[in-house]
Amino acid sequence: MTERDQPLTDPMLDELLAAARTDRSQPDVAFLSVLTDQAIAAMPADRAVASASATRRSDRHRSGWGGLLRRAEAIAGPLLWPTGLVVPVLCGLWLGAWADARGYLDGGALAGSDLALGLSYHLPEMAALVGGY
């Protein structure tokens, strides 16, 4: 086998790759400084200006009412949806039980109830009032 046909061995290739690894140059300080300036320039202006005072302010306010309110908001926030669903269901159940106890769920009782009597008396009266008689 000639040299041309013979591949490098693994240790030879590793030696070349190791040489490449040592060839790693670090970025110069000026370039890093440019990158940092670009990073700061890319910040939303209001945030960049507000950041210093906000850091100081947040420490002061963390224990005050603002912090308490934010904490309560953070705790209550995830509960809003379930609460919004559960409350109407419970209201419906309570209303149903109340109507059942008063006998409004039974047709005959409903017709003879004070509510039905009141409606049967007042509705024609209101209709007459609206109709101008």
Partner 1 sequence: MAFDAGGQDAEAALLARYAQGDRAAAAILVGRLAPGALSLARRLLGDGAEAEDVTQEALLRLWKIAPDWETGRAKVSTWLYRVVVNLCTDRRRRRRPEPVADLPEQADGSPAPVEHLQMQARLNALGEALDALPERQRLAVVMRDIEGLANPEIGAILGVSVEAVESLAARGRRALKARLGGRRSELGFDDD
Q: Which is nearer to partner 1, 3 or 114 (CB)?
A: 3
Q: How far is CA 76 from the centre of its chain?
A: 11
Q: Which is nearer to partner 1, 17 or 74 (CB)?
A: 17
Cβ pair 70, 77 in contact under 8 A: no
Q: Which is nearer to partner 1, 25 or 63 (CB)?
A: 25
Give least dist CB 46 to partner 1, A. 8
For residues 83 and 95, what is the distance between their CA atoms, to the nearest angstrom? 18
Answer left, alpha or beta for residue 56, where phi above 0 means left and psi between -120 and 50 means alpha: alpha
User: 67 Cβ partners below 8 Å, 6+ apart?
Assistant: 61
Residues 104-133 binding partner 1 (CB under 8 A) are none
Stretch that binds partner 1, among 6-14, 64-72, 113-121, 125-133 (CB under 8 A): 6-14
Write each residue from 43 to 62 as x if it is in contact with partner 1 (CB under 8 A), else as -, in one continuous string.
xx--xxxxx--xx-------
For residues 21 and 25, what is the distance between their CA atoms, to the nearest angstrom? 10
Q: What letter represents residue 43's amino acid? A: M
For residues 88 and 91, what is the distance between their CA atoms, to the nearest angstrom? 5
Give least dist CB 63 to partner 1, A. 20
Q: Does residue 73 interact with partner 1 by CB under 8 A? A: no
Contact set with partner 1 (CB under 8 A):
3-10, 12-13, 16-17, 19-21, 23-27, 31-32, 34-36, 38-40, 42-44, 47-51, 54-55
